[in-house]
Amino acid sequence: MKFGEAFTEYLHGEQDRFLEKCGHVEYNTLKKVLNTCRSCNALRDSCNSDSSGCQCQSCPLCDQKFFSELMKEASQIAGCFSSRVRNDQQAMVLEGWMLIEYALMNAIAIRKILKKYDKIHGSVNGRNFKSKLRAEHVELLQSPWLIELGAFYLNSNGSDDGDFKEFSSNFSCDFNVNPPVMTLMLPHLIKLEFDLTCAICLDIVFNPYALSCGHLFCKSCACSSASVFLFEGLRAASPKSKCPICREVGVYSKAVHMLELDMLLKRR
């Protein structure tokens, strides 16, 4: 089964009620934009007959519809994913694995449609756009909320609920390796590893907080980096304070305490 068919089946499957509350990548619509772009097709035909090399690096018609729409969809998906994990623990109980699958399927859809864009245009603009998604903090499989969901399932590993046991088996953590990691095994043989090292003290994150750029730090280390007292908290930092890793400005104001990860670290 091709991915487009599998994605359509996913959207109209058992989780359709859940998906009604969240946006998703309009994969087939975006694919149609690429397939029906006459300018792209003309350029591609010209490239095939021109030995001097391909000139179809981009297409204004595609780009206008394609990248703006994909960024809007990716932002909506990332917002829905993070808000449901952040604001509703009951949602994690009832929808945790559905949220993970939601992030995964849409991330695969984005990856495949960008790969198709580059194939059609003979460019690397799609690959560059993935970097832009990371910079805008909407790269789904790099979200700190996946770490929080993983910690939630590992914390619930002792539950008698069969579903929890089944889903938690997809997560593991090893604090005795360097660096300490949380591993998530996903469908389609996708393996994600999250480094749980604080980039400042180079130890396992203690009392972990995620800045809005997605990077994790010990609370004390992040406060020290932003020149604020521990009792004041990260949100007391100056708007000009930068992430110690990516140097992005203004990332402290929406810093979030990773409660499930904190609990997991204390228990382990």
pLDDT in tens, 150-172: 888 888 875 545 555 666 678 88
pLDDT in tens, 181-203: 999 887 777 788 899 999 999 99
Q: Are 221 and 207 in contact (CB under 8 A)?
A: no
What pLDDT band is residue 5 in, cutting at 50, 70 and 90? confident
When mean pLDDT is compared across 2-11, 16-25, 38-47, 252-261, the lowest value belongs to 38-47
Terminus-to-terminus CA distance in the chain, angstroms? 42
The pair of structure tokens assigned to 98 is 């559905």
What pLDDT band is residue 88 in, cutting at 50, 70 and 90? low
120: left (phi over 0), alpha (psi -120 to 50) or beta: alpha
In the predicted model, is pLDDT for residue 51 greater than 50?
Answer: no
In the predicted model, is pLDDT for residue 180 greater than 70?
Answer: yes
More confident residue, 249 or 35: 249
By DSSP bridging, strand 256-257 and strand 190-195 are unpaired
In the predicted model, is pLDDT for residue 77 greater than 60?
Answer: yes
214: left (phi over 0), alpha (psi -120 to 50) or beta: left
In the predicted model, is pLDDT for residue 42 greater than 80?
Answer: no
Mean pLDDT of the chain: 82
What span, in angstroms and rounded, lies between the C-alpha atoms of 165 and 224? 39
115 DSSP assignment:
H
Q: Are 4 and 27 in contact (CB under 8 A)?
A: yes
What span, in angstroms and rounded, lies between the C-alpha atoms of 218 and 213? 15
How many of the other CB atoms lie within 10 Å of CB of 22? 18
Model pLDDT, residue 213: 87
Model pLDDT, residue 264: 92
How much is the pTM? 0.80
The pair of structure tokens assigned to 137 is 């903090």
In the predicted model, is pLDDT for residue 222 greater than 90?
Answer: yes
